[in-house]
Chains A and B, each alone.
Chain A
Amino acid sequence: MEERGKLNGLRLLRMYGTVIAAVLIVLGFSVLSPSSFATLDNAVNISRQISFLVIIALGATLVMAVGEFDLSVGAMASFGGVFSAKLAVQGLPLGAAFLIPVGVAFIIGLINGWIVTQFRVLSFITTMAMGTILGGFTFWFTGGTTIFEHIPVGFRYVGQTEWVGIPILSFLMIMLTLIFWFVMVHTAFGRQLYALGGNEAASRIAGIKVGTNKNLAFAICAALAALAGILMASRLGSAHPTGGNGLFLPAYAAAFLGMTSFKEGVPNIWGTFVGAAIIGILANGLTILEVPTFMQDVITGVIVISAVILQKIGRR
């Protein structure tokens, strides 16, 4: 009985280690900077800042759940932002300017998935190439310049408005996180994705449509990446041809950090959320503490490596 209790304690720690680390980081920053970091304003700040990262990382989590990678998410975010801003400048209704790029991204994601499943090309290569193609289109659309002239005021609404003191972006982030948590845990589709990631051959024998499911995972991932880029453009009131590229590596860092919590060694939605939050809180807190940028990179890297090592220690 006692043995069992101890095991559960360890298990709990193993499952929530990353969450505990996040809490400790927040406490640490709060002690070091009570008047700037530990304020409601700054909490709102952080929630807005991490919203893009969370949204793009949710998609990455889905693709990782089926055992694949999508390296085009950063380029897709830039593409989505620029495409949407262009449409808005052309005078399309804002709903269309937001939704058309997401739809196009969904189709591009399906193409990614189709190439991977149909021709058994490594997703690494397929999506890397797709990212390059998207980067090319983005530069073509923009001539390399930032789009900010003639963007209608309404385009900024979603990115810059707060409801009851909370940014719409933060609401969207929470809503999408809840939706995808539900999808991954409580629907057949989600469970099939995990089954595929666990053992593709067995899933195939069990009658799971491998191709369809994977294609959908890629498509959703691409659509979320484009959405993140569009929201970013809305927040900045402008679209930069490489604006979303910087989200790519942090998105995977978040998903990998997330794999160390809740569901051990498995990409999972809440884990990704906490992972993205850690990355965002570190960037915010370290800037407030006036830690030089190079040191921030060192620290962020050390954290990701430590978290992954921690998980291995816990497993022994």
Chain B
Amino acid sequence: MKKIISLLLMVVLVFSLAGCGAGKTAAPSGEPAKEGKTVAILTPYLASVTTNEMVENLKSQVAKRGYKANVVDTKSDFAQLASRMEDLISSKVDAIVLVSTDPNQLKDQIKKAQEHGIPVFGCDSGYIEGMVMNATSDNQAMSRMVTDYLFKTMNNKGNLVVLTHRPHPGVLKRTQELDALLKKSPEIKIVTEQQVQVPGPIENARQQMENLLLANKAEDSLTAVWAGWDEPAIGASQAIEAAGRKNIVVVGIDGTSQALDMIKKGSPLVATVKQNFPGMAEIVVNQMELVFQGKPAEGTELYAPATLITKENAGK
């Protein structure tokens, strides 16, 4: 008897927990409300500051139009990403937005969404056939912006550490642009390229940098650090500061508030490029509105312009 009661309690608990999670937004029957449009926001990187910012922006933009937002995060798990996308298609959402996701890993699911008439948008993801469009910063342009600035600061020579994460499609493009620019500056030598672990990029970059500093103790052995995005730049900058090393500069990309703060205060981190996340979210939601009205989107890759941030304009 005890066993039956406990079993029932367990199941009741599950559904009441499920209820308090969904309850506030779902219709009384538990089925998602169908009067308004439901927009699913799917990402594997919600723990990353920039992705999170983008998701928040999307949520507010979506709410402004009177649609309902539903955020699904899979914590860097790509197999789950495919499964969750299938679930969203089953639950007949009105649109799916992939945030910071390589759509190449969801080819099958994107095709399936298309078959079910669910438009798929990308926000800082990438565009492949079957999707409506993707809004992003021009990663190549951003990388060029900050890399040009860095190379100028280095007087086009010295020893460079690269902290990156090539599995991320946007970061990959940035790193490839760096590769291209490096070919034009033969006096800049790569000390090492390290793949930063995600999640936990700040701590991981900090540790990697600490080790690199120990391995390169001579005054001029390290000139600069190029980070694929702000979080490893912050970690590397912290390590350099803690080690009391001067003359090593760090650049990042994204323009997170922590990075801006460090640039303003004066730290090894000297420059970043501020991505226009609200702009991207706005582009996606604008295009979504067009699609809901039965019109085509204005393009498949739309860019929100970015700004280079240095000490001069970090406070603004």
* Given A32-B29, A240-B167: A288 in contact with B87 (beta carbons within 8 A): yes
Q: Is A1 an interface residue (CB 8 A)?
A: no
Q: Is B4 an interface residue (CB 8 A)?
A: yes
With a cutoff of 8 Å between Cβ atoms, the chain A residues found around residue B74 in the complex are 246, 293
Give B7-62 interface residues, CB cut-off 8 Å to A.
Answer: 7-8, 10-11, 13-15, 17-18, 20-22, 25-26, 29-32, 38, 46
Q: Is A208 an interface residue (CB 8 A)?
A: no
Give the interface size class of chain A: 35 or more
User: A237 contacts which of B13, B17, B73, B105 (Cβ < 8 Å)?
Assistant: B105
Contact present for B82 and A41 (CB under 8 Å): no
Contact present for A36 and B17 (CB under 8 Å): no
Contact present for B4 and A13 (CB under 8 Å): yes
Contact present for A287 and B15 (CB under 8 Å): no
Give the interface size class of chain B: 35 or more
The prevalent SS among residues of B at the interface is helix
Distance between Cα atoms of A48 and B109 in the complex (Å): 13
User: B167 contacts which of A144, A289, A295 (Cβ < 8 Å)?
Assistant: A144
Q: Besides the contacts A21-B11, A236-B78, A283-B87, what 5 more A-B pairs have beta carbons closer than 8 Å?
A: A39-B90, A241-B167, A243-B79, A246-B74, A307-B10
Contact present for A52 and B79 (CB under 8 Å): yes
The prevalent SS among residues of A at the interface is helix
Give B56-110 interface residues, CB cut-off 8 Å to A.
Answer: 70-80, 82-84, 86-88, 90-92, 102, 104-108
Q: Is B141 an interface residue (CB 8 A)?
A: no
User: Could you name 25 residue pairs across A and B whose Cβ atoms are closer than 8 Å?
Assistant: A24-B8, A32-B18, A32-B30, A35-B92, A36-B91, A42-B90, A45-B87, A235-B82, A235-B108, A236-B108, A237-B105, A238-B105, A246-B76, A246-B80, A287-B87, A290-B38, A290-B70, A291-B21, A293-B71, A295-B21, A296-B21, A299-B21, A302-B13, A306-B13, A310-B6
Q: How far is the CB of B313 from chain A (nearest CB, A)?
A: 33
- In the complex, the chain A residue whose C-beta lies closest to that of B30 is A32
* Given A25-B11, A241-B167, A246-B76: A14 in contact with B104 (beta carbons within 8 A): no
